[in-house]
Amino acid sequence: MGRITAFVYGMFCYVLFLVTFLYAVGFLGNFGVPKSIDSAAQTPFEQALAINVALLGLFAVQHSVMARQWFKGLWTRIVPVPVERSTYVLFSSVALILLFWKWQPMGGTVWNLESGAGRIALNGLFAIGWLTVLAATFSIDHFDLFGLSQVWAYLRKRAYKAPGFRTPGMYRFVRHPLYVGWLLVFWSAPKMTAAHLVFAVATSAYILVAIQFEERDLERMHGQYSEYRRRVPMLVPTGASVPVDGIGAGRRAEKPLASA
């Protein structure tokens, strides 16, 4: 693949991600989109449930399998290495677009907070969740995560160097702040419909399973990760943390840490 072509392709995949991300805010927040997660039901409950579960399953399989190292080894025999991450971003965006397009609202109300204070609090947590997701991506390396660093290095004829193991910002207190943000987004709903509950339960279960696969890969790739995993909680901050400089730094000044 030509260097300019690869860069343009990477930029296209990133822009598509941004559009999909913004649409997801409206889809889950019930504003600014033609059909949201809590729109009025138009399909029989059982049929809607089956379609939604299939859409969620498709996204989970794509998102998890394509992230595994064994798949990347096979995939890069077909897809050039510099655009492998961009292609992953592209497929993830397409899977989400399909989910938004074919999602079937299911009606029914699980809870509905009518008090102004309660709605403000949950809407605030919803916004905090999105900000946490964005902050977590920039904390580790937003542009590498979404494939831009790879195609930029290829365009400039420079060898791409993957980021090393670091524990910046929120990663000092929880191992997966990105997932913490997503959980806040999925569950901070002043009105929880049946469809929203199915989405929240399924995506939360996926996160808990995906973490196990992700951490196995991280332990194989980074020797420091086992100690990090032992010392820092997975999702809920408990006061445990790592030094500012990361695992193995500043030990003399450390206080005892709670186990993960």
Q: What is the pLDDT of residues 119-146, one digit of tens each?
A: 999 999 999 999 999 999 999 889 999 9
Q: What is the pLDDT of residues 75-132, one digit of tens each?
A: 889 999 999 999 999 999 999 999 999 999 998 889 898 888 989 999 999 999 999 9
* Token duo for residue 72: 């990347």
Is pLDDT above 80 for 245?
no
| Helices 3-29/148-155 angle, 10° precision | 160
CA distances from 229 to 44, 137, 171, 224 (A): 45, 19, 11, 9
CA distance 7 to 23: 24
The predicted pLDDT at position 152 comes to: 94
Q: What is the dihedral of CA 36, 41, 43, 45, to 10 degrees?
A: 110
- In this prediction, residue 248 has a pLDDT band, given cuts at 50, 70 and 90, of very low
Entry pTM: 0.86
Question: What percent of the chain clears pLDDT 70, i.e. is strictly above it?
Answer: 92
The predicted pLDDT at position 211 comes to: 93
Is pLDDT above 90 for 29?
yes
Q: Between 244 and 249, whose confidence is greater?
A: 244
Buried b (16+ CB within 10 A) or exposed e, 216-236: eebeeeeebbeebeebbbeee
Is pLDDT above 60 for 260?
no
